[in-house]
Structure 1
Amino acid sequence: MELNEQKYQELLSFIKSEILGEGDENVILDRDTSLEDDLGVTGIDADKFILKFSRKFNVDLSNFNIDSYFEPEFSFWLFGRKKRKRFTIKELENAILTGVLK
């Protein structure tokens, strides 16, 4: 199941405004774009983004474990990089459709 085109474009615009800076308007985003691997969102920035996303799109985060998807700040220096699940725009789309981010 996918969002209608207008809502999907709203999601992409939100991602661009919150993650990408000016001059990055031409970055191509799609459902397979990884927030951490492709856009560099990690640590505190990931926390802030997910909270803003939740508020904007009225998505429940109560069962979402952010550490499963995003590296915490400076963790790789202290403990080595841990394998994380890939978190893509598709996960955000599914969260909007269901009202829950899992």
Structure 2
Amino acid sequence: MKEELLNDLVAFIHQQSRHFDIPVTTGTSIENDLGITGDDGEDFIIQFSKKYSVDISSFHFTKYFYPEPSMLLIPKEIKILTVGDLMKAIAARRLDDDVING
């Protein structure tokens, strides 16, 4: 069952990112490996939330995604969000720091 869910999530990620040539594992970083960032990162998480019925009300986008590129601001370091974290969120039915770090 876990493998089926992972396969479904990988298909969802490929569809959302349009990067079908990138191998996706539980260790794949959404931002660093897939290049989903800024507003696209927020859109991705919202679509993920809808598809998998995951509560994202306590998810802090700015902790896990860089902002849109700007010459005026220097981005701070972000935390890594992985496909494995999304798997944990599906199981917990919520995506927040406790689930990600738990």
Q: Higher relative contact order at CA 8 Å, sep ≥6: structure 1 or structure 2?
A: 1
Q: Where on the TM-score scale, by shorter chain, does this alignment land: which range?
A: 0.7 to 0.9
Identity across the alignment (%): 36
- Tell me by how many angstroms 1:20 deviates: 2.3
Q: Distance in 1 between matches of 2:74 and 2:57?
A: 28
1:29-44 residue pairs with structure 2 within 5 A? 29-44=24-39
Q: Distance in 2 between matches of 1:100 and 1:59?
A: 5
The alignment's TM-score, normalised by the length of structure 1, stands at 0.88
Q: Distance in 2 between matches of 1:28 and 1:65?
A: 26
Runs of 4+ in 1 over 4 A off after TM superposition: none
Tell me the equivalent position of 1:5: 3
Tell me the equivalent position of 2:100: none
Tell me the equivalent position of 1:87: 81
Tell me the equivalent position of 2:13: 15
Paired amino acid for 1:39: L
- Tell me by how many angstroms 1:8 deviates: 1.2
- Tell me by how many angstroms 1:78 deviates: 1.7
- Tell me by how many angstroms 1:97 deviates: 0.6
The alignment's TM-score, normalised by the length of structure 2, stands at 0.88
Match of 2:58 among 63, 68, 74: 63
1:27-69 deviation digits (Å, cap 9, x = unpaired): 2111111111111111110011100000000000111001000
- Tell me by how many angstroms 1:101 deviates: 0.2
Matched, 1:96 2:94: no
Equivalences, count: 96
Q: Tell me, what secondary structure is at the counterpart of 2:41? A: helix
Q: Distance in 1 between matches of 2:6 and 2:87?
A: 7
- Tell me by how many angstroms 1:79 deviates: 1.7
- Tell me by how many angstroms 1:81 deviates: 2.1
